[in-house]
A = this chain, B = another copy of it.
Amino acid sequence: MAPLVSPLAPVAFPDLPAVAGVRLATAACGVRYRERDDVCLIELAPGTAVAGVLTQSRTASAPVLWCRRALKGGRGRAIVVNSGNANAFTGSVGLASVQRVVQTTADLLAAKKTEVYVGSTGVIGERLPDEKITAALRGLKAGLDVGAWRAAAAAIMTTDTYPKGATRTAEIAGVPVTINGIAKGSGMIAPDMATMLSFVATDAKIPVKTLQALLARGTADSFNAITVDGDTSTSDTLLLCASGLAKHKRVSGPGDPLLKGFRAALFDLLRDLAHQVVRDGEGASKFVTIAVSGAVSKRAARRIGLSIANSPLVKTAIAGEDPNWGRIVMAVGKAGEKADRDRLSIHIGGIEVARAGQAAPGYDETPVARHMKGQEISLEVDVGVGRGAATVWTCDLTHAYIDINADYRS
């Protein structure tokens, strides 16, 4: 049986302070779930800049198609999110549902339609009962509050076992700014109830182009460096909103030295949220950090890392607490990136297990086996051909994953 709460969950949901220009509300609309909030409205102050990263899936959901269009304007007044139904593979009916939610929200907030974003996560191929959402919007607006971050994080959950949130502060030219974020994930990135959605907001004043560049960079080492089962959702959505209400000096571009602290804080928050998604990976019992070095490029290193992270044989070995480095060699080999078999070295838990294409001289499995019994597993692989390095994160593959995914709909 899968545990009620992931054994890798953080101790508690962090205290998220208010972010000027951002208010939230949630409601129980019965989209699919009973007796829990399943819709969330995030209101953004006029003039808020919005950047986004969306799924690469060729069968993207209706909300993703809409967000792709709205992001061209780069401005946002609201985000409406529901759990329980992904509004994916619903054809023109699904697009019409999005239109009705967007139109009703825009009317209510006196916004343009392209300033309203939507996110949906849940079952695929069923009509979204959008009338349940639109009927709730007026009440949601009335309940908007700067403090409802935890409720929002809970409302967007599906098979997640805990709500995910993070907060950071930074200074831009001496003026303090706040960044808050929430996420839901679980099976990364499962199509049913485990799409990855994340919404991040700050009061910093950052031009849209700069915001988009920062988000793209931050995603590379966070949400794009994690995997649970290698599957790609039709609905993955990450939005970054900047209300611009903090009264700091103007920033010029993503490389502006004034943004140094903000950039670091943002990247750290994104990584934190991404890790929380992995820690709630379906059936996860171990959190695995895979650091690859010696590749021809950072991109090659990441591909090798993801090849290891997605290998069912590596993941089951970790679940079985077996320091089976042969499977790591296999996964390096199948990545299709350049690697020198005779220079390959592998460390597990900081202990050298293989060097120069062979088992390390005098290799003693005892301390490595001890490391494998822990909850935090570290793998380091140097493929010996260059200077490219990247780190990716994943979890193990356990019986609970099968329980959750073989029995989920029934």
Contacts and interface: CB of A to CB of B under 8 A. Distances in A.
A401 B324 CA distance: 16
Interface stretch (A11-19, A86-94, A132-140): A86-94
Interface string A366-405: 0000000000000000000000000000000111011001
Contacts of A229: 311-313
Contacts of A397: 312, 402
Contact of A312 (B326, B333, B354, B401): B401
B402 A319 contact: yes
Interface string A301-343: 0000000001111001101101011110111111111110110
A401 to B, nearest CB: 7
A35 interface: no
Q: Which of A89, A320, A332, A357 has the most CB of B within 10 A?
A: A89
Which range contains the number of A residues in contact with the other chain?
Answer: 35 or more
Contacts of A191: 313, 326-327, 329-330
Nearest to A365: B409
A231 interface: yes
B402 A125 contact: no
A252 interface: no
Contacts of A126: 359
A330 B229 CA distance: 13
A312 B401 CA distance: 9
Given A91-B358, A313-B192, A405 B320 contact: yes
A123 interface: yes
A330 B59 contact: yes
Given A192-B327, A313-B187, A344-B59, A408 B358 contact: no
B187 A326 contact: no
A379 to B, nearest CB: 15
A125 B58 contact: no
B57 A333 contact: yes
A232 B330 contact: yes
Contact of A341 (B58, B398, B408): B58
A2 to B, nearest CB: 13
A97 B313 CA distance: 27
Contacts of A409: 317, 322, 324
A207 to B, nearest CB: 32
A341 to B, nearest CB: 5
A406 interface: yes
Contact of A405 (B317, B332, B357): B317
A313 B191 CA distance: 8
A125 B408 CA distance: 39
A356 interface: yes
Nearest to A316: B405
A354 B89 contact: yes
Nearest to A304: B58
Contact of A190 (B313, B359, B410): B313
Interface string A216-259: 00000000000001111110000000000000000000000000
A234 B330 contact: yes
Q: Which of A59, A125, A233, A320 has the most CB of B within 10 A?
A: A59
Nearest to A403: B399
A406 B320 contact: yes
A407 interface: yes
A118 interface: no
Interface of A: 55-60, 86, 88-91, 93, 123-126, 187, 190-192, 229-234, 310-313, 316-317, 319-320, 322, 324-327, 329-339, 341-342, 344, 354, 356-359, 397-399, 401-402, 405-410
